A and B are shown apart, each in its own frame.
Chain A
Amino acid sequence: MLLIPCPHCGPRNQEEFAYERTLDSVVRLDDAPDVALSALYTRANLRGDDHEIWTHAQGCGQWLRLTRHRMTHAIHSVEPL
């Protein structure tokens, strides 16, 4: 159970948060279709640090950017989005 330091609320249990996607998978509204589909349908899926988007769904409801390691689960940074 991760302890995620919400920049708005302070450290909270992981169960209050929901993972959404990686930062590089965000599809911008004005992305060209090939760019959009590539972002949507492929991931680096790194066995290491990656940038992720989470939401503090059961808390402040804000969207957050986490840099997190997929093996150690260490959270290096949490920033508001």
Chain B
Amino acid sequence: MRSGSGITAESVAFSFDGTTYHGQRGDTLAAALIANGVQLVARSFKLHRPRGIMAAGVEEASALVTVGSGAHGEPNVRASDVYLYPGLVARSQNAWPSLRRDIGAVNSLAAALIPAGFYYKTFFGPPSRWMLYERFIRRAAGLGQPPRLPDPDHYGHRSAFCDVLVVGAGPAGLNAALAATLAGKRVILIEQDVLPGGTLLREDVTINGAPGAHWAQYVVARILEAGGRVLTRTTATGYWDDNFVTAVERRVEPGQPGTGEAQVSWRLRCGEVVLATGAIERPLVFVNNDLPGVMLAGAVRELALRHGVVPGRRAVIATSHDEAYRTAFALAALGVDIVAILDSRADPAGPVIAVARARFTVLTDARPLRAWRRGMAMAGLEAQVGGTRQSFAIDCLAMSGGSSPVLHLHRQAGGALEFDAARGAFLPGAGRQRHSTLGAAAGVHDLAALLPDATVVDPLGAGTPPAPGPVWRDEAPGKAFVDFQNDVTTADLALAQREGYVSVEHTKRYTTLGMGTDQGKTGAMVALAQIADLRALPLPDTGLTTFRAPYTPVTLGAFAGPMRGDHAAPLRRLALANAHDALGALWVPAGAWMRPRAYPHQGESLGVASLREARMVRANVGVVDVSSLAKFEIAGPDALTLVAAVCATPVAKLAVGRGRYTVMLREDGMVMDDGTLWRLEETRWLLTSSTGGAARMARHLTYVADVLLGHPRAAVVDLGEHWAGLALAGPAAAHVLAGLTGAPVPAHMGLDAAHLAGVPVRILAASYSGERAFEVHVRRDQAAPVFAALVEAARAAGGGVYGLDAMDHLRVEKGHVVIGAEADGRTTPADLGMAGMLRKTGGYVGWQGLTRPALADAATRRQLVGLTALDAGAIAEGAMLVAREGAEPVGHVTTAAPRVAGEGAIALGLLLNGAARHGDRLLAWSPTRHSTVPVEVGPPLFFDPEGARYRD
């Protein structure tokens, strides 16, 4: 059994590519694979080069695997970012037929043919030819296999507020979080790792007498004790406007089946944000720097001290600064033969160097030139040492080319950057929001400086801050990588510069630098140094690409959270939904609502049922649920002013107890909505409008009131949610209703209060069907008995219920328009034949818009017409109106219906200059549905043109 600061003695079985291994609890998959001697873990994206583990954290660019099986499978998981659990199943990806013998590796042989951007220069010909090549390119691209099954995991959303958010539980973050908590602030500390400590997990130091990792646990305990909140395995993914930070917490590991929430998406509104996000080590650039066995020095140190594993038996440390020396001591303590330390500096000095020189071979002015492999892993290294070249037989290279403060969130927050030439790194400058940066993220690596109040014992001392060495200048032939995942080499960068893709964004997009799943965490600064060298510019002048959220990849399911399945969006059910179900309703979505479309009898088709229901209304009586229509009550001394501003029809002279049809316009003069307006009392009005426009109308009413009219003394109450509406229509409607209320029914366009089934109701006599009809408005919680009574009485009179389709058939026959179909947002009242209804004096919303000259040009306006089929075919809704098939359309069919009174098919349509074309013959042509029906144009009114049936 190994020992390390982050693992326990508990053995955990897992598998990789079908072989079962054992690791220890607390191991990352990366650590456990290395402990089992597995070096080859993955294949690179483009060249399919063998890759092993290079990093110990989220910056891993090479070792991506698929974790989990079946529906729990998760592709592209960083081996260093998944912690062992019993039964973990991991597989390699992007390799076929096997990781070791991967056919795709031929790409490596053809690498010279496929430099950066090669695809822009070839594969010409028609798109079909490109698509042929593309099929192979697409198959070769991608990394893991996509999930194909619905996601079994659950995801949560949480919101929280805090005075101080601390991102990162390394020494700087812990210290800041504890101080803020003790100062009485509401503190949230988040840490992407499962353990607090950050770099303390990889360093051999004591703080206040305890090992660093223990001190971290102790500080967390104190923060919790003082009322702070600590979220581990939680990554701050985005920093948005006004100190709003998003974070994602993983509650189960990738691929791990679990109950409850697998991940939680946090939305944090913070008083201030402390970014203690640490730094990411940079690789060195040399030929074959991507071989399994070549690793970041800090990662090697973390494997050794935290997990107790070593990635090889004979190692070289290659560095440009003091910090990586620590890796030599850590490895040596575990019995690794430190063959040499290569330091690119000519004359390094200081305590660490002195101690190292005493124990190891330290070669100065020395750096790697070329690594080589035997089988699939590193076997040796050639290095430049002063003026000579030396070779080393080694199986592990721990490298460090300096380090890059993690400034993603700082940049997302709009913070400035300052280039520190000595460190070769960007450091955080002034913030734009309320945030500050501490610790390694601010370039401070010295523990004693970070924890001034603690007793820090570091046997090796702080050393000089990390800094990069000389830039790679192709001193050896072969591929030297700057972006490991996307196989971007120094040659690719040079090619991009040569071809003029010199803006750093162009270089990035042309070479795909930094566009992998790691988003260039390790490679970006290395590449910038190369580019600066190629262009002979100071590094900061090369520019920087934008840091975009998320900091690390986030499962899409975590964004959706609970908004899945039926909860993806609210579905609105009518108050009487159960009653409709009991009547055998067939439902149809109408905006957010579900409405009864028809009530088919056994074996009856929808079309047959709807026509039966419509004819029932013409012949007798029917009941339909119109509850989803918008209903607003407008009351107060200035109510008329508001109503007159919103409605384009005359309103002032409407008598109390009377209603009328009205239209509401947008400011551009187009019909926005229609409905009926009722004067309940002198200063109290009821306005109904369309179901789909309810939210828009609610907003419009308050806009007109508050913004245009400056808060008139009129209140607007949205009754849509509170009142159900039931329409009773048909020649027998008046008789049926009077029987139920025991009172005379109101005259057409009149209204009355009544009691029905013992419940107070309001009765509005308005007709949509062309029959004598009444809308019964009732509080939704009292609607059930009213509906039951209406249905029962209608049935007793030989009628029954009808649905949306029957209602549509009836209104088409009467030429009533529907918002969305005939009033499609592009039609004026005049287009719909309503010009005569408008107030001549203006003063309503949209009157100015109507003055535009082109709206009066009938030849270019589509106007409402009626269409009668000249043969037996049904007219296709949406069909084009054409003179002949293939001709330029002159209009289209907006709504089609069978005749209710009589036989044959009719429709409403919008037709250019339609009002002047009555009697013309056209085709209703629908090529998508292979339907052509000759139609005759006429007025949009097919039944009872005098309106005799609905009047008293």
- A–B direct contact (CB < 8 Å): yes
Taking a contact as CB atoms under 8 Å apart, the answer to whether A81 and B845 are in contact is no
Q: Which residues of A contact B241 (CB under 8 A)?
A: 1-3, 73
Q: Which residues of A contact B702 (CB under 8 A)?
A: 55, 61, 63
Cα separation A81 to B705 with both chains bound (whole Å): 11
Cα separation A13 to B267 with both chains bound (whole Å): 11
Whether B667 sits at the interface, judged by CB under 8 Å, is: yes
Shortest Cβ distance from B888 into chain A, in angstroms? 29
Whether A26 sits at the interface, judged by CB under 8 Å, is: yes
Taking a contact as CB atoms under 8 Å apart, the answer to whether B242 and A27 are in contact is no
Contacts A1-B241, A3-B269, A40-B667 given: A53-B707 contact, CB under 8 Å?
A: yes
Q: Which residues of B contact A1 (CB under 8 A)?
A: 240-242, 244, 267
Taking a contact as CB atoms under 8 Å apart, the answer to whether B851 and A55 are in contact is no
Contacts A3-B244, A81-B707 given: A27-B848 contact, CB under 8 Å?
A: yes
Q: Which residue of A2, A20, A36, A61 is within 8 Å of B848 (Cβ)? A: A36
Whether B849 sits at the interface, judged by CB under 8 Å, is: yes
Cα separation A29 to B844 with both chains bound (whole Å): 6
Shortest Cβ distance from B446 into chain A, in angstroms? 35
Contacts A3-B244, A40-B667 given: A33-B851 contact, CB under 8 Å?
A: yes
- Contacting residues of chain B (609-655) with chain A, CB-CB under 8 angstroms: 645
Cα separation A81 to B851 with both chains bound (whole Å): 29
Q: Which residue of B269, B432, B845, B848 is within 8 Å of A37 (Cβ)? A: B848
Whether B708 sits at the interface, judged by CB under 8 Å, is: yes
Taking a contact as CB atoms under 8 Å apart, the answer to whether B843 and A29 are in contact is yes
Whether B699 sits at the interface, judged by CB under 8 Å, is: yes
Shortest Cβ distance from B478 into chain A, in angstroms? 46
Shortest Cβ distance from B241 into chain A, in angstroms? 5
- Contacting residues of chain A (13-59) with chain B, CB-CB under 8 angstroms: 13, 18, 20, 26-33, 36-37, 40, 53, 55, 57
Taking a contact as CB atoms under 8 Å apart, the answer to whether A55 and B845 are in contact is no
Q: Which residue of A3, A13, A63 is within 8 Å of B706 (Cβ)? A: A63
Q: Which residues of A contact B414 (CB under 8 A)?
A: 72
Q: Which residues of B contact A13 (CB under 8 A)?
A: 244, 269
Taking a contact as CB atoms under 8 Å apart, the answer to whether B707 and A63 are in contact is yes
Cα separation A29 to B269 with both chains bound (whole Å): 41
Q: Which residues of A contact B243 (CB under 8 A)?
A: 3
Whether B668 sits at the interface, judged by CB under 8 Å, is: yes
Cα separation A61 to B701 with both chains bound (whole Å): 11
Chain A's closest residue to B246 (CB) is A1
Whether B852 sits at the interface, judged by CB under 8 Å, is: yes
Whether B130 sits at the interface, judged by CB under 8 Å, is: no
Taking a contact as CB atoms under 8 Å apart, the answer to whether A32 and B244 are in contact is no
Q: Which residue of B242, B668, B844, B848 is within 8 Å of A32 (Cβ)? A: B848
Q: Which residues of B contact A62 (CB under 8 A)?
A: 706
Cα separation A55 to B243 with both chains bound (whole Å): 22
Q: Which residues of B contact A72 (CB under 8 A)?
A: 414, 432
Taking a contact as CB atoms under 8 Å apart, the answer to whether A36 and B849 are in contact is yes
- Contacting residues of chain B (698-723) with chain A, CB-CB under 8 angstroms: 699, 702-703, 706-709
Q: Which residues of A contact B849 (CB under 8 A)?
A: 36-37, 40
Shortest Cβ distance from B497 into chain A, in angstroms? 32
Shortest Cβ distance from B244 into chain A, in angstroms? 4
Shortest Cβ distance from A17 into chain B, in angstroms? 12
Q: Which residues of B contact A37 (CB under 8 A)?
A: 848-849, 852
- Contacting residues of chain B (225-255) with chain A, CB-CB under 8 angstroms: 240-244
Taking a contact as CB atoms under 8 Å apart, the answer to whether A36 and B432 are in contact is no
Shortest Cβ distance from A51 into chain B, in angstroms? 13
Cα separation A28 to B848 with both chains bound (whole Å): 10
Taking a contact as CB atoms under 8 Å apart, the answer to whether A26 and B244 are in contact is no
Count A interface residues, CB 8 Å. 26
Taking a contact as CB atoms under 8 Å apart, the answer to whether A57 and B848 are in contact is no
**Chain A contact surface mostly:** loop
- Contacting residues of chain B (795-848) with chain A, CB-CB under 8 angstroms: 843-845, 847-848
Shortest Cβ distance from B672 into chain A, in angstroms? 14
Contacts A2-B242, A73-B241 given: A29-B707 contact, CB under 8 Å?
A: no
Chain A's closest residue to B848 (CB) is A36
Taking a contact as CB atoms under 8 Å apart, the answer to whether B668 and A40 are in contact is yes
Taking a contact as CB atoms under 8 Å apart, the answer to whether B703 and A20 are in contact is yes
Taking a contact as CB atoms under 8 Å apart, the answer to whether A30 and B706 are in contact is no
Shortest Cβ distance from A39 into chain B, in angstroms? 9
Cα separation A49 to B271 with both chains bound (whole Å): 25
Encode B664-698 as 1/0 by CB contact (under 8 A) with A. 00011000000000000000000000000000000
Q: Which residues of A contact B709 (CB under 8 A)?
A: 29
Shortest Cβ distance from B44 into chain A, in angstroms? 38
Chain A's closest residue to B244 (CB) is A1
Chain B's closest residue to A23 (CB) is B707
Taking a contact as CB atoms under 8 Å apart, the answer to whether B244 and A57 are in contact is no
Chain B's closest residue to A4 (CB) is B242
Shortest Cβ distance from A35 into chain B, in angstroms? 8
Cα separation A55 to B240 with both chains bound (whole Å): 22
Shortest Cβ distance from A76 into chain B, in angstroms? 13
Q: Which residues of A contact B708 (CB under 8 A)?
A: 26, 28-29
Q: Which residues of B contact A27 (CB under 8 A)?
A: 667, 845, 848
Cα separation A6 to B552 with both chains bound (whole Å): 34
Q: Which residues of A contact B844 (CB under 8 A)?
A: 29
Shortest Cβ distance from A27 into chain B, in angstroms? 5
Contacts A2-B241, A2-B242, A57-B699 given: A26-B707 contact, CB under 8 Å?
A: yes
Shortest Cβ distance from B570 into chain A, in angstroms? 13
Shortest Cβ distance from B919 into chain A, in angstroms? 36
Shortest Cβ distance from B642 into chain A, in angstroms? 11
Chain A's closest residue to B844 (CB) is A29
- Contacting residues of chain B (512-559) with chain A, CB-CB under 8 angstroms: none
Cα separation A32 to B849 with both chains bound (whole Å): 10
Shortest Cβ distance from B695 into chain A, in angstroms? 9
Shortest Cβ distance from B728 into chain A, in angstroms? 34
Taking a contact as CB atoms under 8 Å apart, the answer to whether A29 and B244 are in contact is no
Q: Which residues of B contact A30 (CB under 8 A)?
A: 843
Q: Which residues of B contact A3 (CB under 8 A)?
A: 241-244, 269
Cα separation A40 to B847 with both chains bound (whole Å): 13
Cα separation A62 to B847 with both chains bound (whole Å): 26
Shortest Cβ distance from B77 into chain A, in angstroms? 29
Shortest Cβ distance from B802 into chain A, in angstroms? 35
Q: Which residues of B contact A31 (CB under 8 A)?
A: 848
Shortest Cβ distance from B464 into chain A, in angstroms? 38
Q: Which residues of A contact B699 (CB under 8 A)?
A: 18, 55, 57
Cα separation A13 to B708 with both chains bound (whole Å): 26
Taking a contact as CB atoms under 8 Å apart, the answer to whether B706 and A33 are in contact is no
Shortest Cβ distance from A28 into chain B, in angstroms? 7
Cα separation A73 to B243 with both chains bound (whole Å): 12
Shortest Cβ distance from B267 into chain A, in angstroms? 8
Chain B's closest residue to A61 (CB) is B702
Encode A60-75 as 1/0 by CB contact (under 8 A) with B. 0111000000001100
Shortest Cβ distance from A13 into chain B, in angstroms? 7
Q: Which residues of B contact A61 (CB under 8 A)?
A: 702
Cα separation A74 to B240 with both chains bound (whole Å): 13
Shortest Cβ distance from B415 into chain A, in angstroms? 13
Cα separation A61 to B703 with both chains bound (whole Å): 10
Q: Which residues of B contact A36 (CB under 8 A)?
A: 667, 848-849
Cα separation A79 to B394 with both chains bound (whole Å): 71
Cα separation A36 to B845 with both chains bound (whole Å): 11
Cα separation A16 to B849 with both chains bound (whole Å): 31
Cα separation A80 to B699 with both chains bound (whole Å): 16
Q: Which residues of A contact B668 (CB under 8 A)?
A: 40
> Can you identify 26 A-B contacts, CB atoms within 8 angstroms?
A1-B241, A1-B242, A2-B242, A3-B241, A13-B244, A13-B269, A18-B699, A26-B708, A29-B709, A29-B844, A30-B843, A32-B848, A33-B848, A33-B852, A36-B848, A36-B849, A37-B852, A40-B667, A40-B668, A53-B707, A55-B703, A61-B702, A62-B706, A63-B702, A63-B707, A73-B242
Additional pairs, 5, CB under 8 Å, beyond known A2-B242, A27-B845, A31-B848 = A1-B241, A1-B244, A2-B241, A29-B845, A81-B706
Closest CB pairs A-B (n = 3): A36-B848, A3-B242, A1-B244
Q: Which residues of B contact A (CB under 8 A)?
A: 240-244, 267, 269, 414, 432, 645, 667-668, 699, 702-703, 706-709, 843-845, 847-849, 851-852
